Structure 1
Amino acid sequence: MRWIYLAIVVVFVAALIIFVFQNTQSVDVSFLALGATLPLAILVLVAYVLGALSGGSLYALLRRSVAGSRRSA
């Protein structure tokens, strides 16, 4: 089973490397009064990390809330 997980990781890393090399063009990004020009691959990486952090935080909050309601009931 470990080899299957390793193969999946290798496929995802290969896809990530291909994505980075194919998306080197710069894009303009603005948020409120801030603006920046950065490569598309970096923008996608930042959006992914922010989404993972917010999703993980929401999951932890919900899990703690459910555990707390079970303890008090």
Structure 2
Amino acid sequence: MARLFYLVVLVILVGAIGIFAYNNSEAVDVHFLQWGMSTTLAAVAGAGYLLGMLSGWTVVGLFRRSLNRVTESRNNVG
């Protein structure tokens, strides 16, 4: 039953992403330093989302490593 629920949620999410991409298909210019390109607004939003996921994953990884170091040092002392 849970798998069916997750499948329905996944289908709805993919459908919403498809509708977003279709409705935001106009071209936008992206410039960074001396580099520039023209792409769709949906691609820019998707790239921003992926970069946000990557940065969040990195921060969580750093926090976990630091937490592990603290707990290991406490276990070694006692």
Task: Return structure 1 stretches of 4+ with deviation > 2 angstroms.
Answer: none
**What is the rounded CA distance, in whole Å, between the counterparts of 1:8 and 1:16 in structure 2?**
12
Quote the offset at 1:25 in angstroms: 0.2
Structure 1 residue aligned with 2:3: 2
Whole-angstrom CA distance in 2 between matches of 1:5 and 1:64: 31
Identical counterparts, % of pairs:
38
Q: TM-score, normalised by structure 2?
A: 0.86
Check if 1:61 corresponds to 2:62: yes
Superposition CA RMSD, Å? 0.9
Taking the aligned partners of 2:35 and 2:70, their CA distance within structure 1 comes to 42
**Runs of 5+ unmatched residues, structure 1:** none
Rg larger in structure: 2
| Secondary structure of 1:30's aligned partner | strand
Paired residues in the alignment total: 73
* Structure 2 residues not aligned, in runs of 5+: none
TM-score w.r.t. length of structure 1: 0.92
Superposed displacement of residue 18, structure 1: 0.5
Which residue number in structure 2 is paired with residue 24 of structure 1? 25
